[in-house]
A and B are shown apart, each in its own frame.
Chain A
Amino acid sequence: MEFFERFAIPHPSPAIYASMVAIALTTIAVVVGLTYFKKWGYLWREWLTTVDHKKIGIMYMISALLMLFRGGADALMMRAQTAVPENTLLDAQHYNEIFTTHGVVMIIFMAMAFIIALMNFVIPLQIGARDVAFPRLNALSFWLYFMGAMLLNISFVIGGSPSSGWTSYFPLAGNELSPSVGTNYYMLALQISGLGTLITGINFIVTILKMRAPGMTLMKMPMFTWAGLITNVIIVFAFPVLTVALAMGTMDRLFATNFFTTTDGGMDMLWANLFWVWGHPEVYILILPAFGIYSEIIPTFARRNLYGYTTMVVSMVVISLLSFVVWVHHFFTMGQGALVNSIFSITTMAIAVPTGIKIFNWLFTMWKGKIQFTVPMLYSLGFIPIFTIGGVTGVMLGMASADYQYHNTMFLVAHFHLVIIPGVVFAMIAGLTYWWPKMFGFMLNERIGKWGFWFIAGGTVLAFFPMFISGLDGQARRMYTYSEGTGFGIWNMLSFVGAIGLAIGFALLVYNIYYSTRYASRDIGDDPWNARSLEWATHNPVPEYNFAITPQVNSSEAFWDAKKRGHKLFKAGYKDIHMPNNSGIPFIMSVFFFIFGFAFIFSMWITVIVSLIAILACMTYRSFEKDDGYHITAEELKKAESELRGAK
């Protein structure tokens, strides 16, 4: 019995028991469903073992949507708790757990997954490649991310969730002040999924540098691919910092080392520094792909080419460089003095320049255009004003002296939600709607989509604008409650109403997926949006080999040129296409990583060692495995292509 006690929840409540039941029932339903419909084999063959970038992208997307609802449920509970003063819906400990997991889930497991989903699906198509450079590593990336996400999510029902904030500052996150295993979950889950992200970074840099279609020089790449390249460079340079910080944190908690402790020379500020040396570039890892998505959607629906292609690229490069030299602005108030704060204040505000250029370039892209208000375009247009407000408040926060007043308040919360939601979430939904026909061969319903947009945009404004005011009125963030006399009540109530609006918007998105899956027309052709870039030059949905013939590219809008200017994309005849075989290794290895992480969290060292050996065994197997893939012959291609064309 003693063995099992460690898995108990330190602060049980009806909500946790309910989620235990819910998780158990869902698991049973999935298992029974799969068995009843005899889908185990299908699941294994088509999904668990797949190395196809398109399917991996879709799996990322489904996971990201699931995490969006997990994080969204957290957000609703937080807003509900603070909607009225002295509310008792949640106690302090649960509120702390919920805002911690909200942050972790949304940043690491939702936003990251969503951008990687779209990069996975779109980038190889945009550059006319067969797949990514290392398809198996790509599968491994996904499964590591997925296992990391699952690991954090089970913390709620096994052993307790982390509760020291998504920033997990020491010494609060140390053993003494956070004795439950929650922070161990945080450390290990982020470590495992971070490893997956790093592999993604390497994979995509190689893919983009080496696998572009003939004729596509770097400056002829579509903007989303450019954004992807820069993002992945940031990933490769930023994530190792997190790896080290998490390793140190884990060792402090489990091996009693003294990195961030308050004894024997430990330095709590080192964690804050390392965390934000990773954490600030992380913000740009999220936002740059979103910029890329808008740079695809706005030209498409303004019916014009992207204005200022070169400045767009240069500004992204500048942003990526600056992103590594601003981290101190997350703790101007740590007492490093006026000089250091002044330097970081200036670098921080400097980011506004390249970002501003991008905003104006998008505006100029619509100049003399022929704007069509489709759902992806609506999100892009909603992005511009809301993000501008989020961005300029960022500049305000960048002024160190004033930041002493904004820091740790709801003003800050309003700022970063108003950049991340229009910047990332809008872009994700816009991108999802835009590339949906590429993924599934039908379109999402425009009418439901527009309703969803207005709820989400309105909800965002209503949920977060009041926080500027309550922040300036002195409401600190992360307070589970406040007294009536503070006068914060009205603003928090407005936020709660806004949060409900957002929830309705997201529910409409899901309903739209359901509705369109059932009722939407499958006869949409290959180019339903009258688009411009190369991914639209193949079929909807994309066949497993992507392009039957490798395209010849002459500009960043090769497909548009092919339509309007007589550029010939496909010159060669059919040739055999080499395909990689599916593999179960990434999935199996990731399961062992999950076991490894779980055992590590609970200090079950024998299991740790066994799972580590199993991981090494997987690597050994992979190293010795001879796998040359297979070929789709020219004959088969010809047949498949004529069928695809005949169907239209």
Chain B
Amino acid sequence: MSGEGLLINIGEGTCGIAAGAPEVTEILRKRFPDAKFTSVGCVGMCHQEVMVDITNPDGKTYQWGNVTKKNLPKIVRFHRGEADLPKQLLIKSTDEPDTDKSQYLLQQTRIVLRNVGQINPTSMAQFQERGGYTGIEKVLKGGMSPEDVIQEVKVANIRGRGGAGFPAAIKWGFARGAPGKVKYLVCNGDEGDPGAFMDRSLLEGDPHAVVEGMLIAAYAIGASKGYAYIRAEYPLAVEYFGKALDDARKSGYLGENILGSDFTFDIKIKEGAGAFVCGEETALLASIEGERGMPRIRPPFPAIKGVFGSPTIINNVETLANIPWIINNGGQAYADLGTEKSNGTKVFALAGTIKRGGLVEVPMGVTIRHVLEDIGGGSPTGRPLKAVQLGGPSGGCIPENMFDTLVDYDAINATGAIMGSGGMVVMDSKSCMVDLARYFLEFTQLESCGKCTFCRIGTLRMKELLTKICDGEGTMEDIEILEELAPNIKQASLCGLGQTAPNPVQTTLEYFRDEYIAHVKDHRCPGGVCKGLITHTIIQKDCTGCSICERYCPVDAIEGELKKPDTWVIDQQACINCGMCVEVCNPDAILAA
């Protein structure tokens, strides 16, 4: 069988590629040279990468997960009719749509991610087959005035998905009313939160939806020029978004007199250069202007005086990708989802110690527990989940006993964390909350632009204190200083970076104070993470004397005689507690405690 009549879709987003999609594609192309192949974006089931959808000539579709070079022959033989269905690789099929594995997607409500993983992101035709660009057509050909558009977005009550949660319609109204010959619309794709990848998936998986959202937003505020500021760490997003711009231009969706109207708008890509602070809107503007990304004092707000001194609206990628749906389906349909003050859906990037990680889009108002347990499948390690970190370095940790908190801007703020852009990093009992706080402060300290003293020096002092505690040299007074510094840094910083930097420390101190005390008073790291507080020893009764630990030890701290378990010891003076030996030891004969 040459594969004639087979339709094969392969997820080739950054994560699919990393998991080995190109290799799988190459083999499939050899086995089925006449099949029709489509490279699609990441559907968001990262835990199932590499994913392949194959539709047989009889119209039945099979979705396969965790496909590797090794298990691929089973799938190939099945589609050739030579073998039975390899059940363990099946996510779902036309005959069996409702499986354990398919729950991940079945429990989601996909508005923003409507096309991601369904279309080839470099094909404008496929985007249009699924209703793409009908939103802007409705606006321009259906006689909607800019005020009508703003009104529709107001009814939808969509709040900024970048994290701050400011209502988009109000912001647009400011820029609409601001005097200025030239106005700018900026798409903020500087997704700097470590642990977040929603914007990457959108830009890579459905770039035209972002272009269309930008068009509608630009029309509403009266902007003629647009920038898409995209992180340099996302090369594929830059490439696909650039292709989308070229195609949109060729089809008359970008440029002068779009669709025969008097609306003129074009978009340029600005690649970021690796600065977290540039997610802050005034810093982002400085970066577009070619300066160091340092925030400015507001007011004047960018809506009045933004890039090159002109009125500018900065919207997050996810916010913009919602807009075409809102125009097509009406603001009310969007507002019907969610809670009273948080409407619509939110996309989360689920990662960390979780069984099913990936992209999750849920209506506002569900519980965090629903996201983690029903969709994410809970802990993969057998150890109970301890906490979830929301909102990256600006956010906070929510402990397990508060997992019933609703996905709602105000409910999450009340816990001390923030909704943020949507990064959710899950941790089980083998993680250390003090180390996590130290990690985030190290990050914010490095990324602080240095303009405000409290942010520049305050985060450094916090980092030093946390490092001291992680090393087992902290005192109770250090904890008090941390508590005193936190509000000071928040009050005396100009932008969101400094105003939120103490959040990870404050929330861990509030919910996991016992872990801080264990580090300080008992010189013990309950999670077994902090290198200064653990030792590695060989349990000789479990050791086989295989010597693999010796080979991987970077400091030659392990010695013993081959095949003589009772001779193996770790030199505690030389050991740096890196944990390499634990990783490579087959019989689990090394204890880290």
Partners in one complex: no
- State the B residues within 8 Å of A (CB): none
